Amino acid sequence: MTPEAGLQVGTDLLLVGTSTLPKKKGQREGVGMLEFAVHRETAPFLISTTRSMTWVTPRGDRLLAGIRPLPDLGSLFREVVLHVVEKGRLCEWGSIHPSTPAGLLEAIAHVRSYGIQEVDLLVHPLALKGLPSPVEHEHGRSLLGLPLEEAPWLPEGVAVVVPSDRGFLGFVLYTGPGQGVFVVHNASRGMAAVAP
């Protein structure tokens, strides 16, 4: 699913956009790096490489992200969540909680403790088991007062709390059909998860 095709993942994890980059003479399609200005206090950054992704903490206020194939946003978002959950546990960010109602409340409190009051809850359909029942209303569903969006791309049994303004967490930038870059920042503050 790509923006070029007019399709959107209804539950985007990151801000998604497109950019047309001028091709340099002799440059192969889809090969290269893009430089971005960053705020060091939002590190570490999870960035695209030309084939995968990696965590970086730049010395200055700029970083390079690799242009890579981005055939499916759902698969990319799933991979990003898995990396953030693993890093959160390893670095003891306090952002990963058990899949229980209390764990969900702790995840919400974690993101809100950084002054982010407008948050959304993205859940894998199976993550709803064991949690309170969602409330149905004319604008959709909510759980514990948060807008609830089912995200089948999430790992089974996982739910994440993210800012309603996904730009706080990062972005995906398509540079051509099925290719682009991404940068995740504020991962320790802008995403909390309940996970098995």
Percent of the chain with pLDDT over 70: 88
5-48 pLDDT, tens digit each: 333 445 789 999 988 765 555 545 555 899 999 999 999 999 99
- Classify residue 82 by burial, with Cβ atoms within 10 Å: 0-12, 13-18, 19+: middle
Buried b (16+ CB within 10 A) or exposed e, 37-71: ebeeebbbbbbbeeeebebbeeeeeebebbbbebe
Q: Are strands 140-143 and 170-176 parallel, antiparallel or unpaired?
A: unpaired
pLDDT of residue 6: 33
Q: What integer pLDDT is reported at residue 8 of this predicted model?
A: 40
β-partners of residue 97 are 194
- For the chain, the structural domain boundaries read 38-194
Distance CA 83, CA 53 (A): 9
pTM of the model: 0.87
**Rounded Cα distance, 157 and 189, in Å:** 21
What is d(CA 124, CA 128) in angstroms, rounded to the nearest whole number? 7
pLDDT attached to residue 66: 96
In sequence order, the β-bridge partners of residue 174 are 18, 180
Q: Determine the pLDDT at residue 140.
A: 79
Q: Exposed/middle/buried for 102, CB within 10 Å: 0-12, 13-18, 19+?
A: exposed
Residue 58: is the preceding peptide bond cis (ω within 30°)? no
Q: What are the pLDDT digits (tens) for 111-139? A: 999 999 999 999 988 777 777 788 887 77
Specify the pLDDT at position 23.
Answer: 56
17: which strand partners? 173
Mind listing the pLDDT tens digit for each residue in 163-192? 999 999 999 999 988 899 999 999 999 999
Query: What mean pLDDT is reported for the chain?
Result: 87
The pLDDT of residue 2 is 35
**75-115: per-residue pLDDT in tens?**
999 999 999 999 999 999 999 999 888 999 999 999 999 99
pLDDT digits (tens, 9 = 90+) for 49-73: 999 999 999 999 999 999 999 978 9
Q: Which pLDDT score, from 0 to 100, does residue 25 have? A: 53
